[in-house]
Amino acid sequence: MEKLTRPNAEIHIRHLTGRNPGNGEFAPSLVAQLRLALAQGASELEQHGYSLRDVTRIIFTLSGTEGFSACFSTLNELFGQSCPATTLRLVKSGRHQEELVELDLLVTPKS
């Protein structure tokens, strides 16, 4: 997490993954990994007084798009009508073979 250095600095939370904090293993499906990564992000945002609905951009890093459409209902449920700008990055593989998705969340505070 980057430190806020000026009043309206963008908050950028990087490298959110679907690794279960309890056992250190990755969840078995893309949707489950997405939910874990978003839960981590929501927790970090809360520390700065924000929620997922304040996210202005979300960056997905995926090793493949198979199963990604199953994530749409989760994204709609969590982001509602805030509809953040979205970037999809496709890579040959994640940092770990079991890693199906990595997220970056950005919030641009309102002045």
Q: Which CATH number fits domain 11-107: 3.40.50.300, 3.30.1330.40, 3.10.450.710, 3.30.390.30?
A: 3.30.1330.40
- Checking if the pLDDT of 5 tops 50, the result is no
What pLDDT shows up at residue 1? 45
* Residue labelled with tokens 């997405």: 34
| Alpha-carbon dihedral angle through residues 64, 15, 45, 38, given to the nearest 10 degrees | 30
- Checking if the pLDDT of 66 tops 50, the result is yes
Q: CA 21, CA 75: separation in Å to the nearest integer?
A: 21
What's at 78, amino acid-wise?
L
| Average pLDDT value for residue range 70-97 | 87
Banded model confidence at residue 25, pLDDT cuts 50, 70, 90: very high
- Checking if the pLDDT of 44 tops 60, the result is yes
What pLDDT shows up at residue 64? 86
